[in-house]
Chain A
């Protein structure tokens, strides 16, 4: 029988909390930027301009056809170098966090754009006609009339996607970035208590995501009502 020893966890809590803050920061940025860019992609996808529509369709299918972990790796290899060259930063600047945020935002945008596309299509066609009949341009109709309703209809799905995203941030461990999962791994590795630390990390993810999912369920019922 395996002999559990949880004693290394209490002392590691401040370090784990630092990691959790990184996980939450990546999640927050990826949600905000991902929804903004994803909405823009959805609007392009539904636009009558064929070049925009094709670009958005290609973007979405590209990012949905490659594993997230590969996207992250590419970004760790390419983006820091690129940012250093563009912004003339020294090699000492740690850009792993920034490149993780960019990678997640671009990747998640592909998923958010599909949600927003469904959201836009869920708004009755007459709403667009009414907006146009009032003299709005197609973009004004989108911005003032269709998107607010699309967004509202899709809030539960957007939040569910955010929960998945929060779990996926653990993949940044491939860049040795100490997010919550990475921090837990490091502590476990250092103390030879990997099993305990990973079980603990798993329990934390489980509790946070379960609570968030329950919240989404309540919200969904209120949106439906």
Chain B
């Protein structure tokens, strides 16, 4: 579904990705973790072309992201993305946040888009907030709306960039519950997160990054039981024991 091969990217002198490769198969949930500044977010933003890269290749569902002739908007419409700071459109009601891309990008009718939107809001348990503006919702509710918004386009896979790290602690679980349900439904997901409980529960594999490199990639149980690298051991001992 997603294949990243030997990816390089730098901002001037600073190399943020050096030779990253990974494969995500259909239905897999990959958790990308690592210390801040390790290039995790940059890596997944490269996957849907929001960040350009210098060298290497990314293929998503058979389409090469970096190739010249690629229709990026068309590709992005098939890849859902959820952001750390939600990025709901504050000038639109919740329902309009969910319908605008369906209508303007996919060309669905207003009626069809609305039906789909309401069904998705039902699924994230926010049906009664459809007519409100995002600013009237809590952070957790906003992130659930954002997940519903990207699901509205029927994506073939989802990228989630630290979806819970801007949330107050008491709201993290309601968002994780939605993500777990999504994973159990078989959605292909790449999730950048420090939520190791979530990773243990649903991740197929863990990708551990440090200084722009993928230093370890292992099946979930193996990663938690016996991380091979010292960096991963140190990282795990920090995020698991506090």
Interface residues of A (CB under 8 A from B): 124, 126-127, 129-137, 140, 144-145, 148-149, 152
Contact = CB atoms under 8 A, between A and B. Distances in A.
B83 A132 contact: no
Contacts of B90: 149
Contact of B50 (A124, A127, A129, A148): A129
A129 B87 contact: yes
A127 B89 contact: yes
B53 to A, nearest CB: 16
A127 B104 contact: no
Contacts of B101: 134-136
A132 B76 contact: yes
Give the dominant DSSP class at A's interface.
helix
Given A136-B73, A137-B73, A144-B104, 20 more contacts: A126-B83, A126-B87, A129-B83, A130-B81, A130-B87, A130-B88, A132-B50, A133-B48, A133-B50, A133-B80, A133-B81, A134-B149, A134-B150, A134-B153, A135-B76, A136-B104, A140-B104, A148-B91, A149-B91, A152-B91
B101 to A, nearest CB: 4
A4 to B, nearest CB: 53
A140 B72 CA distance: 14
Contacts of B137: none
Shortest Cβ-Cβ A-B pairs, 3 listed: A135-B77, A130-B87, A134-B101
Interface size classification for chain B: 20 to 34
Contacts of A133: 48, 50, 76, 79-81, 83, 150
B74 interface: yes
B146 to A, nearest CB: 8
A130 B89 CA distance: 9
Nearest to B104: A140
B85 interface: yes
Nearest to B45: A129
A124 B100 CA distance: 19
Contacts of B104: 136, 140, 144
Contacts of B73: 132, 135-137
Contact of A135 (B74, B88, B91): B74
B77 A134 contact: yes
Contacts of B83: 126, 129-130, 133
B100 A144 contact: yes
Interface string B91-105: 100000000110011
A132 to B, nearest CB: 6
Contacts of B74: 135
Given A126-B83, A129-B83, A130-B83, A136 B105 contact: yes
Given A148-B91, A149-B90, A134 B85 contact: no
Contacts of B81: 130, 133
B213 to A, nearest CB: 25
A202 to B, nearest CB: 40
A130 B97 CA distance: 11
Nearest to B91: A148
A149 B72 CA distance: 25
- Which of A133, A140, A149 gathers the greatest number of chain B CB atoms within 10 Å? A133
B77 A127 contact: no
12 contacts: A124-B85, A124-B87, A126-B85, A129-B50, A130-B88, A133-B83, A133-B150, A134-B101, A134-B153, A135-B105, A145-B89, A148-B91
A196 to B, nearest CB: 50
B74 to A, nearest CB: 7
B100 to A, nearest CB: 6
Contacts of B87: 124, 126-127, 129-130
B149 to A, nearest CB: 7
A149 B153 CA distance: 24
Contacts of A144: 89, 100, 104
A140 B105 CA distance: 9
A167 B72 CA distance: 48
- Which of A126, A131, A134, A140 gathers the greatest number of chain B CB atoms within 10 Å? A134
Contacts of B76: 132-135
A134 B73 CA distance: 8
B145 to A, nearest CB: 12
